[in-house]
Amino acid sequence: MKETLELNQSLSVLETVLKATADGLLVADKLGKVLCYNQLYVNMWHIPSELLTHARHQAILGYCAGQLRDPMQFLHSTEEIYGTWTPESFDVFEFCDGRVFERYTKTKILKGSNMVRVWSFRDITERGQAETYKAQLAAILESSNDAIIVKDLNGIISGWNAGAERIFGYRASEIIGCPISRLIPPDRLEEEGRIMSLIKSGKQTNHLETVRWGKGKKPIDVSVTISPVKDNAGHIVGAYKIAHDITQRKESQERIEYLAHYDLLTGLPNRALFT
């Protein structure tokens, strides 16, 4: 009688915790009897009320497994946890509808030496989507022929892709942590100051044709677009620059202009130069 009372008191405390948590939780004893659960657990798994009346975790598991891409793995791992009474376990599984859940389970001793198992479920679908997006974005950035450079508001370089290495000649390990001024000729520093003023006010600079220095202070004609970088709170914390090498285009333009005004054979000015 005393043991039952202590168990009920402990479960009452657990139920209070279940209501306050942000995870879907279910508590079962060693035999798989469901002792308590929160509404979030029911909502996450879309469990019908009639199934919950069985009060057996095994009955609920079959319904849950039917929603997963690998139901047998889910059932086998759960059976193993119950069979060995593993103190702690963690895994991740994917639903047929694309959702992804983390599952964490841990044993807990209640008053009166009653041992139970707490099953915790967390929806990490958005986290997984964000990680996939980041991986895809990183792949795109690395495969770009253009230089993509990230810098903070103090002008310190924090990001450098393969395109930047190809155009400017610096490896990421050589340039990250250095000031952006390393790439800017002295007569263009004022231009960079104006650009950063625009960035700090939230404005973007589009297709600015300018000159930057490559490794060894080699001048490179580039077209740059610079945009603000914001944190999760919307505060501007830096800028990212996309630089397109226009050296060949500039050389072609200069060649065309030269041919329009000078004789190809003699190199002397033609009439067009004086009109």
Q: What is the pLDDT of residue 270?
A: 66
Look at residue 113 and tell me whether its pLDDT is greater than 70: no
φ/ψ of 112, rounded to 5, equals 80, 20
Which CATH code fits 2-124?
A: 3.30.450.20
pLDDT digits (tens, 9 = 90+) for 191-228: 999 999 999 999 999 999 999 999 999 999 999 999 99
> Which residues have a Cβ under 8 Å from the Cβ of 208 and sit 6 or more positions away?
195, 223, 224, 225, 226
* CA-closest candidate to residue 75, choices 59, 88, 87: 59
pLDDT digits (tens, 9 = 90+) for 143-185: 788 999 999 999 999 999 999 999 999 999 999 999 999 999 9
pLDDT digits (tens, 9 = 90+) for 47-99: 998 888 767 888 899 999 999 999 999 999 999 998 888 888 999 999 999 99
CA-to-CA distance for 130 and 124, rounded, in angstroms? 10
Helix (H, G, I), strand (E, B) or coil at 179: strand
User: Matching CATH topology for 2-124 and 144-247?
Assistant: yes
* Residue 28 near residue 57 (C-beta atoms within 8 A): yes
Look at residue 43 and tell me whether its pLDDT is greater than 90: yes
**Mean pLDDT for the stretch of residues 4-24:** 57
* CA-closest candidate to residue 28, choices 88, 108, 122: 108
Q: What is the pLDDT of residue 127?
A: 83
CA-to-CA distance for 109 and 37, rounded, in angstroms? 17
Look at residue 235 and tell me whether its pLDDT is greater than 80: yes
Give me the residue label for tokens 């479960």. 11
Q: What is the pLDDT of residue 2?
A: 43
CA-to-CA distance for 139 and 126, rounded, in angstroms? 20
Which CATH code fits 144-247?
A: 3.30.450.20
Q: What is the pLDDT of residue 133?
A: 62
- Kindly list the domain boundaries of the chain, sorted by start residue: 2-124, 144-247
Q: What is the pLDDT of residue 55?
A: 73
Average pLDDT in the chain: 84
Strand 205-213 with 219-230, pairing: antiparallel
CA-to-CA distance for 186 and 213, rounded, in angstroms? 10
